[in-house]
Amino acid sequence: MNYTTTEIYNDGFGAQYQRIISYYIYSKYNNLIFHYRPFDKIEHNYDNDEQFINKKEEFINLKNNLINYDPNKYNYNIKDVWCIYNYIDKNINEYYQSEHMEFIKDCFWKNKDKKYFKNDKINVAVHIRRQNNNDYNNFDPSLRSLPDTKYLNIINIIRNRHKTNLLFHIYSQGNITDFDKFKNEDVVLHIDTDIEDTFIGLVAADILITSKSSFSYVAALLSNGIIYYNPFWHPPLNKWIICT
């Protein structure tokens, strides 16, 4: 039997969740038996929360729905993650809209309420990625962030298309005064909220505007809403609206 699992990697929640999903789907299309390897480390634990990793395990809800990694019992053939991504990206629309992706979605929603926002609005989630404590000196704004004007332009496009009953949710990090440009009667700021509340808001939204980030990219893959995709190094699905 050919067993596989994910590489050990220390990165943010979104990047690690994307790896898990990609390895799982790759294994299903290549006659491999995937075993789930629980998180070892996850960046952005700014409050040194001892339950930080356990919360993420419960959040994605895969540990109790897949056979777990056991190196004492099985020998694993583990491919490099970029080989996996290159494979997935070549036929992304099939793989990320397959029954296997539906399984990932089902696991995610099993312990959550899809009616997350508890209102009668068209909820629009906007993920604004900004430099954080784990970027150190390697942060290149041209690769990882977008100017406020880009987001404001997309927001106004959506306002013009839908006209009424919109509620925009701005999810980001930093000083709340940095988001004064976004303040409006149809805008709610969610600044420095925890990973779980932010991520489920992105997934549950009727419309999602992504950033150059695996965090909102994976949220878009899990979402059943309308996606406004800001290009970065992982390609969009055909049904997504590409922001120019």
pLDDT of residue 181: 96
User: Are 4 and 79 within 8 A, CB to CB?
Assistant: yes
pLDDT of residue 46: 87
pLDDT of residue 138: 53
DSSP code string of 188-207: EEEES--HHHHHHHHHH-SE
pLDDT of residue 144: 58
Q: Are strands 122-127 and 207-209 parallel, antiparallel or unpaired?
A: parallel
From residue 217, how far is each of 13, 46, 114, 159 by CA, in Å? 12, 22, 19, 22
Q: Please state, in angstroms and rounded to a whole number, the distance separating the CA atoms of residues 37 and 69.
A: 5
pLDDT of residue 23: 97
Length of the chain: 244
Give pLDDT < 50 ranges for the chain.
135-137, 139
For 91-125, the pLDDT digits (tens) are 999 999 999 999 999 999 999 999 999 999 999 99
Domains and CATH numbers, the chain: 3-110 (no CATH), 122-242 (3.40.50)
User: pTM of the predicted model, to two decimals?
Assistant: 0.93
